[in-house]
Amino acid sequence: MAIIIIIFFIQSVLFSRSDGQEKQEHQIEKAKIFQEIYPIISESDLYCSFLVLDEEKMDIEIVGGERDYEKVMFSDSDIVYINKGKGSGLENGQLFLILEVGPQIKGMGRIAFKRGRAQILALGETKSTARIEKSCGQVMIGNFLVPFQEKEGILGKDLGYDVLPEEVEGLKGNLIYFQDDYNQIGSGYWALIDIGEEDGVYFGQQLIIYRKSKEGAPIQILGNSVVIDVQKNTSTIKILSCKDALRLGDHIQARS
């Protein structure tokens, strides 16, 4: 009888260990899967990056702010004054994206840096008061406002750059500008490309980055990116992953 009890006890312990190990392995596997899915497009990507202006005409401007006699830059919760009001169609509570207009991108238009959001608090006929919300760096007198269009980030998976080293037919472009005006960038940085909506680029699309060493040689696959903003002839991308520093003039193409 004692022998039977001992055997039963040993079996119970082994079964318990095996069951616990299986549960632990299952949890680890779930954790690995979970890690593959993450916000490939975040709120910062949407509202703190940059774009090329399709149209130059912007006439809603920050012309002053509270205590502007002692500071030149504004941030979250600061009150600013706008040069337009009810007579220009502005409404109480209306949200605007704040843009700082930068230099000309050769053949493409002027670059605009997203500096945050502003909400109209009080309206006059020709002027308004607004509060800054979620600033991205410096907000200054002379920045422009455009109607805010809310977008949602994307949860997804970096599809990587493990693809055949060959050019594919169809969508192709070039890297023409890097975040902070760098000459080289890596994962997590933003860049402009010279193709856009009219070429078939769409928000959330993942694009392969490659380089040509010389004519006739196989191309060098460098990394993967995701489109975070689309204009008519240009787009803004975020580098999701890469195996080498990216340079201006590197190429981009659709996944085959």
What domains, with CATH codes, occur in the chain? 45-147 (2.40.10.410), 157-254 (2.40.30)
**Can you give the pLDDT at residue 245?**
97
**Can you give the pLDDT at residue 6?**
45
- The amino acid at 225: S
Which pair of structure tokens corresponds to residue 232?
Answer: 């008519």
**Can you give the pLDDT at residue 163?**
93
The CA distances from residue 246 to 27, 112, 191, 203, 210, in Å, are 37, 22, 10, 22, 9
List phi, psi (to 5°) of 40. Answer: -75, -20
Whole-structure pTM value: 0.83
**Can you give the pLDDT at residue 218?**
87
What CA–CA distance (Å, rounded) separates 162 from 221?
A: 8
What CA–CA distance (Å, rounded) separates 132 from 232?
A: 29
Which pair of structure tokens corresponds to residue 130?
Answer: 């607004």
The 10s digit of each residue's pLDDT in 19-54 is: 555 555 445 444 444 458 999 999 999 999 999 998
**Can you give the pLDDT at residue 250?**
97
**Can you give the pLDDT at residue 32?**
42
For residue 211, is it left (φ>0), alpha (ψ between -120 and 50) or beta? beta
What CA–CA distance (Å, rounded) separates 222 from 211?
A: 7
Q: Which residues of the chain have pLDDT under 70?
A: 1-35, 56
